[in-house]
Structure 1
Amino acid sequence: MRLLSVTDLSAAKAQLRQEMRRKRNEMPPEEKKKLDQAMCRALTESAAFQQCEQLFCFLSLPKEPETDAVIALALEQGKTVAIPRCLPECAMAFHQLSPALPLDQQTESGTYGVREPRLTCPVLSPGPEKRVICLVPGLAFDRRGGRLGYGAGYYDRFLAAFPHMLKIGYAASAFLTECVPMEPTDQRLDGLATEYPLEVWNG
């Protein structure tokens, strides 16, 4: 397989982002709602989810797979749940949620209009001795662990810092592609959660 130049790689990523954003925008709301429910059920019924002790989970944007239900179930099951806050230089910190408070009381509008944890929520790092899942957003994924993010590199930096986590992409199967263009700094995932049974390739 021919290696792409930096310019070709950037162009391939931009083209795939455009294609997947269009696919997101064209999905009827009722279809998305059914997929969200099926994805939540498939993930939370999986052995990996049942066994995990800490869940690091993104808060979804309107066009992304909805994660509030996943978070609620994890808290109900006594798992430690943390959600991300953007920091300078495209870094992230995750803050722990309290099971005693509604999610909307623990979040506020932050970077790019994304919901973020309030600073009153304590910062949490993935415990090296814990069974940890990090649920990762993206526009496209492949079964080699490839992921196409939004281009800023927030998750790539975080995932590289905590390699012991089980890194799971979260997307409907319609956003699975044969091969995602990858750069050396792009972090490969360990599995993929869709509306079908959870796939884990590593870990």
Structure 2
Amino acid sequence: MMDKNTLRKLMKEKRKNIKPDIRKMMDEQMYNNVINSNLYKNAKTIFIFVSYNNEVNTHNIIKQAIRDDKTLCVPKVISKESGMISIQINDFTDLEHGAYGILEPKEYCSKINPKKIDLAFVPGLAFDKNGGRIGYGGGFYDRFLKLIPKNCPIIGLGYKIQIIDEIPMDENDIKLNNLITD
């Protein structure tokens, strides 16, 4: 099995090499798969990452969730030590570029108790069919996901090309309940 850092490098390159027109079609399919899922339809408070770089585009999912009157919260990184928190946004314009260049909620947005989240969508560089996920290596999501209710579905969002046979997991890695792809 490949080590995590080699896997990260390989998967970043693979994702970066998706042609723009193909990526657009894949993102539209992802959007439809999310919005039409029962998990989404039944959720009241959704936690979702704001896509960055070559990640699955979540911007339209976020805008739709707001139109659908879902309580929508997104991550805000506090620090490497403190991790991240969930912040409610009521409009896409509540986002601005944060410390890592990623869109984050503006200062006036309210913090949401992670215990209120009933559906969580998380990014990843690679996924397997056993709930394994590999992120960017900071541990931000794994630490945050320990704070949400145990029965809250944790769903990875990734392209089919990001699925591999097996992810090397350790004791701090949180498993996904499901994966939605294009």
What TM-score, normalized by structure 2, do the two folds share? 0.94
Deviation per residue, 1:141-187 (Å, 9 max, x gap): 01111000000000000011223321000001110111001111011
Runs of 4+ in 1 over 4 A off after TM superposition: none
Instruction: Give the distance between the partners of 1:143 and 1:189, measured in 2 at CA.
Output: 9
Q: Percent identity of the aligned residues?
A: 33
Q: Which has the larger radius of gyration?
A: 1
Deviation digits for residues 71-108 of structure 1, max 9, x if unmatched? 1111111110001110121511111111xx4x1x3111
Q: Which of 83, 87, 99 matches 1:95?
A: 87
After TM superposition, give the deviation of residue 127 of structure 1 in Å.
Answer: 4.0
1:186 matched to 2:173? The reply is yes
Contact 1:90 1:152 in 2 (8 A): no
Look up the match of 1:166. Answer: 153
- CA–CA separation in structure 2 for the residues paired with 1:112 and 1:169: 21
Secondary structure of the structure 1 residue equivalent to 2:155: strand
Distance 2:85 2:5 in 1: 27
2:147 aligned partner, one-letter code: A
CA distance in 2 between counterparts of 1:155 and 1:126 reads 12
Secondary structure, aligned partner of 1:111: coil
Q: Who is 2:98 aligned against?
A: 110
Alignment partners' CA distance in 1, 2:38 and 2:61: 15
Q: Please give the alpha-carbon distance, in whole angstroms, between the structure 1 residues aligned to 2:153 and 2:120.
A: 6
Return the alpha-carbon distance in structure 2 between the equivalents of residues 85 and 61 of structure 1. Answer: 13
Q: CA RMSD in A?
A: 1.5
Contact 1:172 1:194 in 2 (8 A): yes
CA distance in 2, matches of 1:190, 1:84: 19
Q: Which runs of 5+ in 1 are unaligned?
A: 1-8, 196-203
Secondary structure in structure 2 of the residue aligned to 1:23:
helix
Length, aligned pairs only: 180
Q: 1:16 and 1:55 mapped to 2: Cα distance?
A: 29
SS in 1 for 2:47: strand
* Consecutive unaligned residues in structure 2, runs of 5 or more: none
Equivalent position of 1:24 in the other structure: 15
**Secondary structure of the structure 1 residue equivalent to 2:3:** helix
CA shift digits 1:107-154 (9 cap, x unpaired): 1111211111011000002345x6x11100010001111000000000
Q: Which amino acid aligns with 2:102?
A: V
Contact 1:81–1:97 (CA<8 Å) still a contact in 2? Answer: yes
